[in-house]
Structure 1
């Protein structure tokens, strides 16, 4: 099992997002992803990742034909109806198909939250550490440039 810190940077290759800040949250069951304007148009889920204030905002509109709608309890204990998609998350060079609920995380520091469903049987969490995967990725990239 790999050690993961309290936060890291992950890639979402199918969404064209690299090195995005992610918070590890062992209290959350599902992972979540910050998006705006998620809606179903003629049976297709359409959404824009992040928001205009986020430095990695592109304005690209994503479309998913496969999605679910679920009731998910937020950190305040309130139930929210959210869209859930499956996409690939890359961390420590491992690509993992991951369920993400789409929600507005604009007021929060981390646009991605990694929940315990994806952590279970893969990672041990060391809250004194952060960016362990990203540091390894950067070190490998620098070594390849030499």
Structure 2
């Protein structure tokens, strides 16, 4: 039985229950495979990855240190063709009132308007993208 897909616009706002974040601006990026979230600080300590998500100028910034025991490294190619190694973690995202498990690479996106990009790994099987729309999930749930 096929699952109904949600129609998502080019941008939205999402909640990240595992990261204690809500109403964070996200941009849909069908060119990216994995989703990416902005990290202000990131370090390894005693076989754990510690991160502070977003930056102080983001309204949703908490300054909270989030610890991951399960993480890995992933080679990512940017839209400009450059490769970089990023940390990859698992987490949840809530859109349209439904929570999805997915993976995020951690990147410094301080200069970007959207601190989160949602890639195909999350979008496939769950969403259809209508680039003429925006904030479809957020307007339905808030």
**TM-score, normalised relative to structure 1:** 0.91
- Correspondence for 2:66: 62
Residue correspondence of structure 1 range 41-60 to structure 2 within 5 A:
41-60=45-64
Deviates more, 1:47-56 or 1:93-102: 47-56
Separation in 2, partners of 1:33, 1:119: 15
Q: Which structure has more helix as a fraction of its residues?
A: 1
- Structure 2: gaps spanning 5 or more residues: none
Residue correspondence of structure 1 range 36-115 to structure 2 within 5 A:
36-115=40-119
Question: Which of 13, 23, 39 in structure 1 is aligned with 2:27?
Answer: 23
Aligned residues: 138
User: Cα RMSD over matched residues?
Assistant: 0.9
Q: For each residue in 1:62-107, what CA deviation from the matched residue of structure 2 results, as whole angstroms up to 9, or x when unmatched?
A: 1000001111112221111110000010111111111000000111
**Which structure has the larger Rg?**
1
CA contact (8 A) 2:23 2:60 kept: no
Q: Which runs of 4+ in 1 moved over 3 A?
A: none
